[in-house]
Amino acid sequence: MIRRELGAFFAALGYFTRLPVPAWVGYSPDGLARAARYLPLIGLLVGGVGALVFWLASQVWAQPVAVVLSMVATIALTGAFHEDGLSDTADGLGGGWDKAKILAIMKDSRVGSYGVIAVVLALLGKFALLDSLSATEVVVALIAGHAVSRFCAVSLMATMDYARDDESSKARPVAARLGAGALLFALVFAVLPLVMFAPEQALPAIAMAALATLWLAAKCRRWLGGYTGDCLGAVQQLAEIAFYLGLAARF
């Protein structure tokens, strides 16, 4: 049991980041299917690395520089995995007119104008929002934002069907619908960092992330009848930005 769960965690680590995993983990569709529940925990690790880089860099440079370096660290750690999903989703939904065309565009390795604009705006948005926070807020925002936004992506896997019929899809092994137990397991890791915020800070951030998730999920359901791996990456990116947007709001 413990070895199986460790295998699922390391499978998630190897699938969603560039970090090395033990050789005994190997690859199996079942292991990857169980890995999805650990995605918010992976978010805690990625956000923690970003927060550490920000804190160390802020001892030497001004906050804007530290924010940029923290973003570089998280992107390097994930291999721009979710940013790529955002780019493909923006290209597909922006340039396609039916499900088949949208899926074909999303699978195309070339990047279109919608994808470029989406990634540029996403990076600029993260930078502007994080730089608007105090140094202490940036540290906790990075940890919580990465965890909560990945739970938002996991929520699609528990409530929607996988849209592709292509068995060669890279996301197919992790596309099994999550049960309630797995979703609650993932929720624990998303909720943990929220205790670092006062309720009046956390609630707007959670609400904004939820709204962004619902909006993009509705578009994926309407045009694709479900989600793809790229949609999950896009949800993570939008929910992370929306989370920071809620934190930065001045009511």
Domain of 90 in residue numbering reads as 39-248
Q: What is the pTM of this model?
A: 0.93
19 falls within a domain = no
Average pLDDT over residues 192-219: 95
pLDDT over threshold 60, residue 83: yes
130 falls within a domain = yes
Give the model's confidence band at 234: pLDDT under 50 very low, under 70 low, under 90 confident, else very high: very high
Instruction: Cite the beta strand spans of the chain per DSSP E.
Output: none
Scan for tokens 């600029």, then name that residue. Answer: 124
Taking each helix axis from N to C end, the angle separating 99-107 and 81-95, rounded to the nearest 10 degrees, works out to: 140
pLDDT tens string 215-228:
999 999 999 999 99
C-alpha 94/C-alpha 112 separation (Å) is 10
Scan for tokens 């509705």, then name that residue. Answer: 218
221 falls within a domain = yes
Give the model's confidence band at 244: pLDDT under 50 very low, under 70 low, under 90 confident, else very high: very high
198 falls within a domain = yes
Q: What is the mean pLDDT of the chain?
A: 91
Q: What are phi and psi of 97, to 5 degrees?
A: -125, -5
Scan for tokens 């650990």, then name that residue. Answer: 38
C-alpha 251/C-alpha 249 separation (Å) is 6
* 227 DSSP β-pair partners: 162
pLDDT over threshold 80, residue 22: yes
pLDDT tens string 32-49:
667 889 999 999 999 999
Instruction: Look at residue 2 in the predicted model and tell me its pLDDT.
Output: 77
Tell me how many domains the chain contains: 1
Contact 33, 179 (CB under 8 A): no
pLDDT over threshold 80, residue 137: yes
6 falls within a domain = no
Q: How far is CA 121 from the centre of its chain?
A: 16
What SS3 class is residue 167? coil
